Amino acid sequence: MRAKEGKIRLELKERIESMRQRVTILRDEKIRRFGSVIQLKKDFYDCEDISMDLMGRMQMLGREMERLRELKATVQERKVKLSQISAQLFQRKKELISELLLIYPISLVRNSLDLRMSSSHHA
């Protein structure tokens, strides 16, 4: 019977030792996993920060695009106005030249490159 008890004790000691090793392995694994969880949380918060930064940049970009659309509309309005003013100036220039020609008629002398004002207007 003592031999049987010794054999049972030996088996129990082996099982206990096996369980201790298993507990040690599981504890080490738990520590590694806990470290992984901490790293994942850190990565998650880093991603949240990056996401918030990107959202802010997208909002700024949206505002900048709106500002550029408004600026483009202003430039287009000014371009139209400038074109109108240029046309008005060209028309006025033609009117002034016509009036000057009525006041000071100019005639081309044949076979010459000279331009002469009519003699009635020489003083």
Q: In Å, how far from its chain's centre is CA 32?
A: 42
Q: pTM for the whole thing?
A: 0.51
Residues of the chain with pLDDT under 70: 108-123
Residue 25 lies in a domain: yes
pLDDT at residue 123, as a whole number: 44
Number of domains in the chain: 1
Q: Are 119 and 102 in contact (CB under 8 A)?
A: no
Average pLDDT, the chain: 89
Distance (Å, rounded) from C-alpha 117 to C-alpha 99?
Answer: 15
Residue 32 lies in a domain: yes
CA nearest neighbour of 102 among 123, 82, 79, 118: 118
Q: Are 105 and 118 in contact (CB under 8 A)?
A: yes
Domain containing 30 equals 2-108
Residue 67 lies in a domain: yes
Residue 27 lies in a domain: yes
Residue 103 lies in a domain: yes
The two tokens of residue 91 are: 């028309």
